[in-house]
Amino acid sequence: MNDLLRRKLQTSLIIVSLTLCVASTLFLLLFSEKIGFGISLMTESKLTTGFSTIFSRFIIFTGFLIFVVGAVIISFMVYVMMSQRVRDIGLMRATGCPNDLVFGYFLTELLVVTTIGCFLGVVLGIAADFASTSLFNSFGFQISQTPINFWLVLLVFGLFFAFALAFGAKPILDTTKVNPATALSPSYHFGVSKESGFKVTSKSGLTMKLALRSLFRHKSATTRIIICLVAVFLLATVGIAGGIIADQTTKSWIENAVGRDIVLIAHQDMCNQYKLLLSKFYETNDMPRIIYTDAKYSISEDILNLLSSMSSNISGIDPRLVLEMHVKEIVGYKINYTEVGDSREGDSLVIGVEPEKVLSNCSLDGEFLKENQPWEAVIGDSLALGMFTEPLNQSISLSGKAFEIVGVCLDPINNGNVTYVPLENLQTIMGVSEPNVVLAKINPSANRTAVLNYMRAQVKDLNSEFDVLDLNEVLDKNLSFLDYIWSTIMVLPAISLFSASLCLIAYAMLTITEQRQEFGVLRALGANPKTIIKIVSAQSLVVLLLSCAAGIAFGIMTTLLILVPEPIVTGFTVAEISAWLLTALVVTFIFSLYPAIRFARKPILEIMT
Amino acid sequence: MKAEETVVLASDLCKTYELGGAKVEVLKDVNLKVGKGGFTVISGPSGSGKTTLLNLIGGIDKPTSGKIVVFGDDLGVKDEDFLASFRCNKVGFVFQSYNLVSTLSVAENIAFPMEWARKPENYIKERVEKLLEIVGLQHRAEHFPFQLSGGEQQRVAFARALANDPPFLLVDEPTGNLDTKTSLKIIQILQRLKGDRKTVIVATHDERIIEFADQKLHLEDGKLVSLNE
């Protein structure tokens, strides 16, 4: 305990790093489980299955990386902690202390630090999960405060505890094997080779020469910190670049599926029902049962004529028949006549549309409905994944009629449990002559508010029970839900970056300790404190840039190849990602300067002692 | 001695260290005057404060009280930038434990004080060659400190101290860690410095060095006394 207290800064750095690693991993697991796109790949009635898959893939990968980063950071920090004790170990052995007793002393020290770090990490992780859930709920989303999964907490605690002990015991064992005389020698430093082995020409300047040669001298520590930072920057890139790209991609899917500047004209009940169907994407709600085929919901010719007469302000009209129907999976065949499907059945929202008039533009696997193809259907991703084996090789049955599935779309309505079929055919099958909702797109150049007010007044004149619903509001709520989720996920790489900064500080401390005497000599021979800061900064910068280049390259590849299929990357996205990553780099670098600045201020004699 | 010829002037110099809450008075009212071109030797038992006095004269440490004026500058009141420039250009320091920079080769160890003084590259190259010749280590130019013997390291330390051709040299126990044969080479270098009329202050026990000093001082229990009188 005395030894730990004597090295306050180092002890706090190790405990804080360990705490952050455990906390971020636990928070990720607990929060993702609550929100419904957790490691189990299950959807809890929120988010369509397609979106959930993207989120889950992202979270599984981020979770895995956080765990790896945590393990690497812990291994590095414990290595640094133990390498600082080598002289004490040498001294104890020189005075006759048996090896097992030396090992026992330092293992006890390691146990204390690990226990405190893991315990604080668990507490912080649970608190962060509770706070995030409360924050989301205060913004109007419905995420339940479920009881903490005790086994998950135990798993995270146990794994990190074991990791820290395993990684920490290795350097203790190694140092106890060092000859006591060697350990006590002022020129011996654990993990530092005596020779430089690398010569930099004098043209690169004294600062860089000293910095680079020193990096090559502590090969072991340099390799460890580079591995550690590569893992952190990989995580940061996946978090930042992947997060931004995935955020924009998923938002674009939603925006295309709902459509921008679209209004819905329907009976008030139908307006409410449609709104609830769209909001199922971000909140769980009880749907009132309504009879969609009721004549009071029918869109009259007058309303359609009214919309047609507003052609200067409206750029498209999309009449739809919205129904809830029992649907069945029809077994399909592959090229080699293998049967595909299980004849499953269930309920789905069925929407009849006129293919050429559809205003939305869903992200699709396959193709959308075409004119003169009455027996084709496009189904939502949740229905496709929940009820079909290979939807694009199968058909769907509605009221005993088979429709060939030609596309699977990402649509937030009814949380992706939706089937689109041609309007005319659906009307014939169901014996309904009129659509029950009509969507209209307001011209972007038109005065939106004026058009909306005029439309409302005219619709009320024609039928007082009818209303106009602005879908932009629902769309914005959908988009902000995605925003909140992504911003929550992106906090995690930020925590890791903070841990990485602590690691870099520890590394800077290690290199400073090892070069302490030499820095003192440099100062005594005319170097000013700035020169020392420059040398340490150059070391940190080289390490940081090397790690950053590798980490970011791997991160971008992972994001584009694995995490976000068909990504939407604009010029602005690239600029935004670059700005964030550059900020991360600069902040980490500034953090790493702290020990050098602190050290350079010390009097020369204190440095040389 | 004329005032302009005084290189070091210490008056009532005191230095106290705090060690574990206890105050240790290392130097007590030390008065010292060293003239230009003079070869001064400070002798005294181990722990008498010789190194502390050299540190104060070299601007590495500051006095607790009293004045230390070197080349007319009161070092006790100067800021770190001034002192860094002073240590680089005005004084050459040879440490007891050599203190070579382990990541730099012999030639680079000699060159770096000149790089800080922003000397031209060609000048540095020529000067390094000349200094290596003076200390007899031309064949070791590309070696690293760990490949040298103690005596060789000490000679490199001398060459480094002379790099910027300082008018004044401080040498701490130059033969303390060396065998007799190697010590002779160091003494030859010191005699050469004396011949070149450099101002030199040496802290040593070595009678062979004390013998040829112009000014012989003895430090004991923090008090400095002259042995010349």
Q: Kindly tell me if the per-residue pLDDT of A488 is higher than 90.
A: no
Measured between its terminal Cα atoms, the distance across chain B in Å is 17
Higher pLDDT, B71 or A92: B71
CB-CB neighbours of A463 under 10 Å? 15
CA dist., res. A582 & res. A246, Å (int)? 20
> Is the Cβ pair B84, A523 closer than 8 Å?
yes
Six token digits for residue A536: 């340490």
Give the max Cα distance, chain A: 102
Distance from CA of B21 to the nearest CA of A (A): 16
Query: What is the structure's pLDDT at A42?
Result: 36
Distance from CA of B38 to the nearest CA of A (A): 22
Q: Is the ipTM of this complex over 0.95?
A: no
Higher pLDDT, A407 or A76: A407
Q: At A178, is the secondary structure helix, strand, or coil?
A: coil
Distance from CA of B103 to the nearest CA of A (A): 6
> Is the Cβ pair A518, B103 closer than 8 Å?
yes
> Is the Cβ pair B113, A187 closer than 8 Å?
no
For testing the chain A interface, which of B57, B80, B91, B102 should be mutated: the one with the most A CBs within 10 Å?
B102
Query: What is the structure's pLDDT at B142?
Result: 87
Query: Which residue in A has a C-alpha nearest to residue B81's C-alpha?
Result: A528
| Residues near A101 by beta carbon (within 8 Å), at least 6 away in sequence | A92
Mean pLDDT confidence for A299-318: 87
Higher pLDDT, B140 or A20: B140
Query: What is the structure's pLDDT at A493?
Result: 65
Are the C-beta atoms of residues A143 and A33 closer than 8 Å to each other?
A: no
Confidence of residue A322 (pLDDT cuts 50, 70, 90): very high
Long-range Cβ contacts of B212-218 (<8 Å, 24+ apart): B212/B39, B213/B39, B213/B40, B213/B41, B214/B38, B214/B39, B214/B40, B215/B34, B215/B38, B215/B39, B215/B40, B215/B41, B216/B40, B216/B41, B216/B43, B217/B32, B217/B40, B217/B41, B217/B42, B217/B43, B218/B42, B218/B43, B218/B44
| Residue A364: HSE in the Cβ half-sphere, 13 Å Cα cutoff | 15
| Residue B126: HSE in the Cβ half-sphere, 13 Å Cα cutoff | 5
Cross-chain CB nearest to B113 (options A213, A517, A526): A526
Q: Kindly tell me if the per-residue pLDDT of B3 is higher than 70.
A: no
Q: Name residue, tokens 């899917």.
A: A253
Query: What is the structure's pLDDT at A382?
Result: 82
Cross-chain CB nearest to A518 (options B60, B89, B102): B102
For testing the chain B interface, which of A209, A515, A525, A528 should be mutated: the one with the most B CBs within 10 Å?
A525
Query: What is the structure's pLDDT at A377?
Result: 93
Q: Kindly tell me if the per-residue pLDDT of A93 is higher than 80.
A: no
Taking 3-state DSSP, the helix, strand and coil percentages for chain B, each rounded to the nearest 5, stand at: 40, 30, 30
From chain A, pick out residues whose CB is under 8 angstroms from the CB of B89: 526
Query: Which residue in B has a C-alpha nearest to residue A519's C-alpha?
Result: B101
Long-range Cβ contacts of A568-571 (<8 Å, 24+ apart): A568/A245, A568/A248, A568/A249, A568/A252, A569/A245, A569/A248, A570/A248
Query: What is the structure's pLDDT at B203?
Result: 93
From chain A, pick out residues whose CB is under 8 angstroms from the CB of B115: 202, 206
Six token digits for residue A4: 């730990």
Q: Kindly tell me if the per-residue pLDDT of A87 is higher than 70.
A: no
Interface of B with A (CB under 8 A): 55, 58, 60-61, 80-81, 84-85, 87-89, 93, 95, 99-105, 108, 111-113, 115-117, 121, 144, 146, 160
| Residues near A209 by beta carbon (within 8 Å), at least 6 away in sequence | A200, A202, B103, B104, B108
Q: Kindly tell me if the per-residue pLDDT of A472 is higher than 80.
A: yes
Are the C-beta atoms of residues B135 and B189 closer than 8 Å to each other?
A: yes
Confidence of residue A145 (pLDDT cuts 50, 70, 90): low
What is the count of residue pairs from A and B with beta carbons less than 8 Å apart? 76
| Residues near A380 by beta carbon (within 8 Å), at least 6 away in sequence | A48, A348, A408, A409, A410, A411, A413, A414, A415, A416, A417, A418, A419
Amino acid at A501: S
Query: Which residue in B has a C-alpha nearest to residue A206's C-alpha?
Result: B112
Q: Kindly tell me if the per-residue pLDDT of A185 is higher than 70.
A: no
Least trusted range by pLDDT, from A95-104, A255-264, A343-352, B142-151:
A95-104
| Residue B188: HSE in the Cβ half-sphere, 13 Å Cα cutoff | 11
From chain B, pick out residues whose CB is under 8 angstroms from the CB of A213: 103-104
A20 touches chain B (CB under 8 A): no
Mean pLDDT confidence for B74-94: 89
Q: Kindly tell me if the per-residue pLDDT of A569 is higher than 50.
A: yes
Amino acid at A28: L
pLDDT in tens, B8-51: 999 999 999 887 778 888 999 999 999 998 999 999 988 888 99
> Is the Cβ pair B60, A524 closer than 8 Å?
yes
A524 touches chain B (CB under 8 A): yes
Query: What is the structure's pLDDT at A403?
Result: 93
Query: What is the structure's pLDDT at A34?
Result: 67
Higher pLDDT, A60 or A123: A123
Confidence of residue A41 (pLDDT cuts 50, 70, 90): very low
Distance from CA of B114 to the nearest CA of A (A): 10
Mean pLDDT confidence for A525-539: 85
> Is the Cβ pair A206, B116 closer than 8 Å?
yes
From chain B, pick out residues whose CB is under 8 angstroms from the CB of A516: none
Cross-chain CB nearest to A525 (options B87, B105, B146): B87
From chain B, pick out residues whose CB is under 8 angstroms from the CB of A600: none
Q: Kindly tell me if the per-residue pLDDT of B107 is higher than 60.
A: yes
Query: What is the structure's pLDDT at B13?
Result: 92
pLDDT in tens, A212-248: 877 777 777 788 788 878 888 888 888 788 778 777 7
pLDDT in tens, A2-17: 666 666 766 777 787 7
From chain A, pick out residues whose CB is under 8 angstroms from the CB of B81: 528
Exposure string over A446-455, b if 16+ CB within 10 A, otherwise e: bebeebbeeb
> Is the Cβ pair B104, A209 closer than 8 Å?
yes
pTM here is: 0.68
Cross-chain CB nearest to B101 (options A522, A603, A604): A522
> Is the Cβ pair B55, A194 closer than 8 Å?
no
Q: At A377, is the secondary structure helix, strand, or coil?
A: strand
Query: What is the structure's pLDDT at A416?
Result: 84
> Is the Cβ pair A524, B93 closer than 8 Å?
yes
Confidence of residue A597 (pLDDT cuts 50, 70, 90): confident
Mean pLDDT confidence for A193-214: 63
Confidence of residue A184 (pLDDT cuts 50, 70, 90): low
Cross-chain CB nearest to A525 (options B88, B105, B121): B88
Distance from CA of B100 to the nearest CA of A (A): 7
Confidence of residue A521 (pLDDT cuts 50, 70, 90): confident
Query: Which residue in B has a C-alpha nearest to residue A530's C-alpha?
Result: B81
Question: CATH for B1-90+206-229?
Answer: 3.40.50.300
- Chain A from 188 to 227: CB within 8 A of any B CB: 194-196, 199, 202, 206, 209-210, 213-214, 217
| Residues near B21 by beta carbon (within 8 Å), at least 6 away in sequence | none
Query: What is the structure's pLDDT at A73?
Result: 72
Exposure string over B177-211, b if 16+ CB within 10 A, otherwise e: ebeeebbebbbebbeebbeeebbbbbbbebeebbe
A526 touches chain B (CB under 8 A): yes
CA dist., res. A386 & res. A329, Å (int)? 10
CA dist., res. B84 & res. B95, Å (int)? 17
CA dihedral (A480, A484, A489, A494) in degrees, to 10, reads 110
Mean pLDDT confidence for B141-167: 89
From chain B, pick out residues whose CB is under 8 angstroms from the CB of A210: 101, 103-104
Q: Kindly tell me if the per-residue pLDDT of A44 is higher than 80.
A: no
Nearest to A233 by CA among A561, A511, A494: A494
Work out the mean pLDDT of chain A and round it to a whole number.
Answer: 79
Higher pLDDT, A129 or A177: A129
Q: Kindly tell me if the per-residue pLDDT of A593 is higher than 80.
A: yes
Mean pLDDT confidence for B188-202: 89
Query: Which residue in B has a C-alpha nearest to residue A205's C-alpha?
Result: B115
Q: Kindly tell me if the per-residue pLDDT of A392 is higher than 70.
A: yes
CA dist., res. B104 & res. A217, Å (int)? 12
A256 touches chain B (CB under 8 A): no
Cross-chain CB nearest to A194 (options B81, B116, B146): B146
Amino acid at B11: S
A316 to each of A262, A336, A439, A440, A568, how far by Cα in Å?
A: 9, 44, 8, 6, 26
Query: What is the structure's pLDDT at A202?
Result: 46
Q: What are the residue ranges spanned by the domains of chain A?
A: 1-190, 195-258+479-609, 262-443
Six token digits for residue A575: 């600029």
Percent of chain B with pLDDT over 90: 38
> Is the Cβ pair B61, A196 closer than 8 Å?
no
Query: What is the structure's pLDDT at A183?
Result: 60
> Is the Cβ pair A206, B112 closer than 8 Å?
yes
Cross-sheet strand order for the sheet of B22-35 = B22-35, B6-19, B65-70, B73-74
Q: Kindly tell me if the per-residue pLDDT of A69 is higher than 80.
A: no
Q: Kindly tell me if the per-residue pLDDT of A378 is higher than 90.
A: yes
> Is the Cβ pair B84, A521 closer than 8 Å?
no
CA dist., res. A259 & res. A442, Å (int)? 11
Mean pLDDT confidence for A190-219: 64
Query: Which residue in A has a C-alpha nearest to residue B110's C-alpha?
Result: A525
Distance from CA of A609 to the nearest CA of B (A): 12
CA dist., res. A260 & res. A258, Å (int)? 7
Are the C-beta atoms of residues A235 and A581 closer than 8 Å to each other?
A: no
CA dist., res. A582 & res. A408, Å (int)? 39
CA dist., res. B209 & res. B202, Å (int)? 8
Q: Kindly tell me if the per-residue pLDDT of A389 is higher than 90.
A: no
